[in-house]
């Protein structure tokens, strides 16, 4: 893919480097020099090298049951999406938004505007689709580029698409800052989102950013059309990458402290009306179903090759090492099962330079692991709402496929041609 120059201001650059984190985590992402590098995965780089985290409580290491060889077999006949009960949005090979519906039938195209740089003229790109719990709405980052003499000038946006009526609307658009993460509140049509920092966010700061440039987490309710500030930036930093807990009581986010890498983990408790910051980045993380635990990998910037999966209670308690028994490589991208009894995650046995990831499911009580096979450049990892399947995309960047791993039958099936799947989980 040819390199494209872009006109990006300082505020945009502060949001670019999620790509570095994603690439080093073997997520299939474009080159940082391409427009696709502008991402809602807001990243920040610590001003000093972070210390290696030390777990405060490590359980007895169980004997791993995972086979060193890939165990997954691709089904000879694709399992229909409806048989797995899956509805998911994804980016098709044409760059547009698509949806595969559990009711059956072929995948349905949602947008038709995607135009790559190679075609000349305007450039339209879609990234990071998120589908609402009931499958009604799809939110996605939409970047619109216009060729200029220096390269491409971009207008960044967050758009929502109604899969029933075909209508669409812009939630946010701006030339300086792309969306900085967005997530649907479970069971609702309320979309929480962050916005990248003002171009002067870092250049005018002393101990903390200029209060006039700090932004919180915003929200729009698609049922009422009302917009609001969902969480105020109480700690003096712009808030990015909102993530709802499965029960909808908590919303977590990164505090934008560094120019690159993940920021300190914080969350808001809507029941207690309390803002809580842990004061340190956790890397990629996931909420337990009941909101009592956080699973994370400490992968807050580029992979060091020693990362592991940990859990920690939301309130008090000690950090616990989960991914024991890894003799080489690193573990990342944890995802709780819907019942909270298992965690799926990836292991890269080859280190930061490798693109091969082994998919693991681990029982939290016994520590026993199950090897689901090796895949290239895995992107996104989600459980189905019934806990039967795992959905993810993998493969070379230009030829990613969406896979469904049926944990009951032990088979993996190609569900769609594309990447970045987002599951509807009623």
Locate the DSSP E strands across 101-259: 108-109, 123-131, 137-148, 151-162, 168-174, 179-184, 190-195, 217-221, 227-231, 239-244, 250-255
- HSE-up (13 A, CA, CB side) for residue 50: 24
Dist CA 282 CA 209 (whole Å): 22
Q: Which domains does the chain have, with CATH numbers?
A: 6-423 (2.120.10.30)
Tell me the pLDDT tens digit for each residue of 117-127.
Answer: 665 668 899 99
Confidence of residue 64 (pLDDT cuts 50, 70, 90): very low
Is the pTM higher than 0.85? no
Say if residues 334 and 362 touch (Cβ distance below 8 Å). Answer: no
The tokens for 326 are: 């890894």
pLDDT at 248 over 80: yes
- Dump pLDDT digits (tens) for 8-22: 333 333 343 333 333
Kindly tell me if the per-residue pLDDT of 230 is higher than 90: yes
Whether the Cβ atoms of residue 201 and residue 180 lie closer than 8 Å to each other: no
pLDDT digits (tens, 9 = 90+) for 298-339: 999 999 999 999 999 999 889 999 999 898 999 999 999 999
Identify any residues that bridge with 416 across adjacent strands, giving them in sequence order. 402
> What count of other Cβ atoms lies within 10 Å of the Cβ of residue 152?
20
Neighbours of 51 (CB within 10 A): 7
Cβ–Cβ under 8 Å, residues 125 and 95: yes
Q: Residue 363 has which token pair?
A: 């029982």
Question: What is the per-residue burial (b if ≥16 Cβ within 10 Å, else e) of 70-99?
Answer: ebbeeeeeebebeebebbbbbbbeebbbbb
- The answer to whether the CB of 266 falls within 8 A of the CB of 277 is yes
DSSP class of residue 234 equals T
């Amino acid at each position: 893919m040819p390199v494209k120059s872009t006109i990006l201001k300082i505020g945009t650059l502060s949001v670019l480097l999620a790509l570095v984190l994603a690439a080093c985590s073997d997520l299939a992402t474009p080159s940082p020099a391409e427009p696709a590098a502008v991402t809602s995965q807001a990243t920040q780089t610590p001003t000093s090298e972070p210390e290696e985290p030390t777990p405060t409580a490590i359980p007895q290491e169980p004997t791993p049951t995972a086979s060193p060889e890939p165990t997954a077999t691709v089904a000879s006949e694709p399992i229909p999406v409806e048989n797995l009960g899956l509805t998911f949005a994804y980016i098709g090979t044409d760059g547009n938004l698509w949806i595969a519906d559990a009711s059956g039938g072929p995948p349905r195209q949602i947008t038709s505007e995607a135009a790559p740089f190679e075609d000349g003229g305007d450039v339209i790109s879609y990234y990071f689709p998120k589908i609402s719990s009931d499958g009604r709405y799809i939110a996605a980052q939409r970047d619109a580029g216009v060729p200029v003499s220096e390269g491409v000038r971009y207008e960044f946006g967050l758009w929502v698409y109604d899969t029933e009526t075909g209508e669409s609307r812009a939630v946010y658009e701006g030339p300086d800052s792309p969306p900085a993460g967005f997530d649907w509140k479970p069971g609702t049509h309320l979309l929480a989102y962050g916005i990248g920092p003002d171009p002067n966010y870092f250049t005018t700061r002393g101990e903390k950013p200029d209060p006039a440039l700090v932004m919180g987490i915003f929200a729009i309710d698609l049922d009422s059309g009302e917009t609001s500030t969902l969480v105020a930036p109480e700690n003096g930093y712009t808030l990015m990458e909102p993530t709802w807990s499965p029960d909808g009581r908590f919303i977590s986010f990164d505090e934008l402290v560094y120019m690159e890498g993940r920021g300190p983990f914080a969350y808001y408790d809507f029941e207690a009306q309390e803002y809580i910051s842990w004061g340190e980045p956790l890397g990629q993380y996931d909420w337990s179903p009941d909101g009592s635990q956080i699973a994370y990998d400490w992968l807050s910037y580029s992979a060091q090759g020693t990362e592991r999966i940990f859990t920690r209670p939301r309130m008090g308690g000690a950090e616990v090492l989960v991914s024991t028994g890894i003799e080489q490589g690193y573990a990342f991208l944890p995802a709780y099962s819907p019942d909270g009894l298992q965690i799926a995650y990836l292991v890269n046995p080859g280190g930061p330079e490798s693109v091969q990831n082994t998919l693991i499911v681990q029982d939290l009580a016994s520590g026993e692991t199950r090897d689901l096979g090796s895949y290239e450049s895995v992107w996104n990892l989600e459980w189905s709402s019934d806990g039967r399947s795992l959905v993810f995309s993998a493969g070379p960047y230009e030829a990613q496929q969406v896979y469904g791993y049926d944990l009951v039958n032990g088979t993996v099936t190609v569900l769609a041609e594309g990447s970045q799947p987002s599951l509807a989980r009623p």
